[in-house]
Homo-oligomer: A and B are copies of this chain.
Amino acid sequence: MKNRKNHVIYFATSNLNKIEEVKKILKDYPVKIKHIDKKKPEIQANDVEEIALRSAAWIAQEVERPIFVEDDGLFIKALNGFPGPYAAYIFETIGKRGILKLLDEQMNRKAIFKSVIAFCAPKKDPICFIGVVSGQISMEERGAYGFGYDPIFEPENGPGKTFGEMTMCEKIRYSHRGKSVKKFVSWYLESTTE
């Protein structure tokens, strides 16, 4: 089965890092990921699932084919869940340095990274797959791999490195996105090959 890329699945995103990561996660699966560069109108909800489900439904309708989207959120316990589903906007404004500043002198650095894949076919209801990883916010930025908050997130049960210190292959063994993508594709393959 390996390397028989006989299932084409469309991934709607404007984040090229995510495309690369999803392809790496699926390198041993019989699927081929194709990119749709579709800007989605994200709703403002405090819930990553709701954002992803609505985006997927909207885009599937627009492009008239089955697609999936991926949304994620970083929820820091001592900050009441901040930056939450607005992680992307907050990354562009106050960034990793802002997060570290907010946690200055804070001993409780627990955080959760959550990835939601929402899949939708036109005129069907969207469905979602969730991947979660617990961990902590590091005391300082470490590592140059990855993107976004990777250099300040250290997964639990990992080798004590931040995602920014892991190669992509190492990161996807622990990551929220590794989990959500694999759940989704396992379901997809099961439901398309009777």
Contacts and interface: CB of A to CB of B under 8 A. Distances in A.
Interface of A: 41-46, 51, 79-86, 89-90, 92-94, 98, 101-102, 104
A181 B89 CA distance: 28
Nearest to A71: B44
A53 B18 CA distance: 31
Contacts of A46: 89
Contacts of A98: 79, 82, 102
Contacts of A79: 93-94, 98
A117 to B, nearest CB: 18
The binding surface of chain A is classed by DSSP as: mixed
A51 to B, nearest CB: 7
A67 to B, nearest CB: 19
B104 A93 contact: no
Contact of A43 (B41, B89, B94): B41
A44 B80 CA distance: 20
17 contacts: A41-B43, A41-B44, A42-B45, A43-B44, A44-B44, A44-B85, A44-B86, A44-B89, A80-B93, A81-B93, A82-B93, A82-B98, A83-B93, A84-B93, A94-B102, A101-B101, A101-B104
Contact of A82 (B43, B80, B84, B94): B94
Nearest to A82: B93
A86 to B, nearest CB: 5
Contacts of A93: 79-84
Contact of A41 (B45, B81, B84): B45
A89 B94 contact: no
Contacts of A101: 101-102, 104
